[in-house]
Chains A and B, each alone.
Chain A
Amino acid sequence: MDRATVDEARLAITSFIVDNFLFGNKAEAPAADASFLETGLVDSTGVLEIVSFIEERYGISVADDELTPQNLDSVANLAAFITRKQGG
């Protein structure tokens, strides 16, 4: 299973969003610190899609109480969360 650096995780998540939410349109890729909730790009179902993606790719299991904006609401938050989970 991949052990990610923050930069690698950011790239992987951005790429997942571009492929799955934007049909390959890189011009609309979200900034790393842009809030999904505020920009509206990723809704709550979209968040769960991303959760499935990172669980599979990084071999982590996201607990119910970890489903928070602090962990999941931007590319940067997600990357930091993944590296914390893998390190812990």
Chain B
Amino acid sequence: MAFSTDVLAIDLEAEAERICARIRHLVSHELKRRGAVVALSGGIDSSCVAALCARALGKGRVFGLHMPERDSSPETLVLSQSVSEALGLDSAVEIITPVLEGLRCYQRRDDAIREVFPEFAEGWKAKIVLGGVGQGYNAYSVVIETPEGELKRQRLPLRAYLQIVAATNFKQRTRKMLEYFHADRLHYAATGTPNRLEYDQGFFVKGGDGLADLKPIAHLYKTQVYALAAHLGVPDEVCRRAPTTDTYSLAQGQDEFYFSLPYEQMDACLWGKNHGVPAAEVAAALGLSVEQIEWVYRDIEQKRATTRYLHLPAQLVEAVEELAP
């Protein structure tokens, strides 16, 4: 039978039950905590995790956190609060802009952007974008918007790129620090909310959103997360929102920043690659060329290699056998 994206269809109720049983077991027996903290971004993944935790542990055992900052979209807080309200969760708003200013997050990022665009000034908008599906290596470019609305784009030298990423990573790490504050004071577990695409391809910050006590949807393709979130009653506006990094001041889709194709197509490619489906079959199903799918297959491998470091725990010279997991 020809490959189709139908392979991503799952029994949503059965999967919700399976995940919830696992969350209950992990939180009570492995982590020995009394509930879960979920950082709510107004996006589909964190909303789905919050809904699963509320169903698994009871809504009174889930604490939601809203942590917007200067570059967050104005709709972020509205959407994330609609989720905690719909699920009946207790939650808190922690505006992280002052912490980030104290860390000089914005200044360090803008200094690096000025290595490429010296005219880049306070209040201008910027984002980082990926080269896109092609024949070669992925290289990042910076896009800035002048006050007149003109967009300028230039490939980033490595040092500037690394500093921009390092500075913006303060955002995810600051949020995780606050999540653990609330997790510690409540004796709850901190959740991580990556979907399979993000987890597999290393689309997270080590010590930031990559740090968690449990990651309940890391095995689910993004398409499945959307379906499961809708099944669990996540508000429609959240289910309709396109994936965004919500990290840079210019609007930025995840497919611009990290994934070479929109998530529906990336899901199909990742599933196809994981199950040995020839590139030609995936290409036919998606209406793309065989060369494009072959490039994406190679890009998946390359990202796995480049981001392997993100998954590694601290490396020891010698195992401490008494503490083996």
Contact = CB atoms under 8 A, between A and B. Distances in A.
Interface of A: 37, 40, 43-45, 47-49, 51-52, 64-69, 72
Given A45-B306, A64-B131, 12 more contacts: A43-B306, A44-B302, A44-B303, A45-B158, A47-B137, A48-B137, A48-B161, A49-B158, A51-B158, A64-B139, A69-B136, A69-B137
B4 interface: no
**Size range of the chain B interface in the assembly:** 10 to 19
B139 A48 contact: yes
A24 to B, nearest CB: 20
A44 B137 contact: yes
B306 A67 contact: no
A72 B305 contact: no
Q: For B136, B159, B161, B305, which residue has the most chain A Cβ atoms within 10 angstroms? A: B136
Interface in B136-174: 136-139, 155, 157-159, 161
19 contacts: A37-B305, A40-B305, A43-B302, A44-B137, A44-B138, A44-B303, A44-B306, A45-B158, A45-B306, A47-B137, A48-B137, A48-B158, A52-B159, A64-B131, A64-B136, A67-B137, A68-B136, A69-B136, A72-B137
Contacts of B137: 44, 47-48, 67-69, 72
B201 to A, nearest CB: 12
Contacts, number: 42
A65 B137 CA distance: 9
B107 interface: no
A64 to B, nearest CB: 6
A52 B139 CA distance: 12
Nearest to B302: A44
A44 B158 CA distance: 11
Interface string B89-128: 0000000000000000000000000000000000000000
B135 interface: yes
Nearest to A63: B155
A72 B302 CA distance: 14
A43 B158 CA distance: 13
Contacts of A51: 158
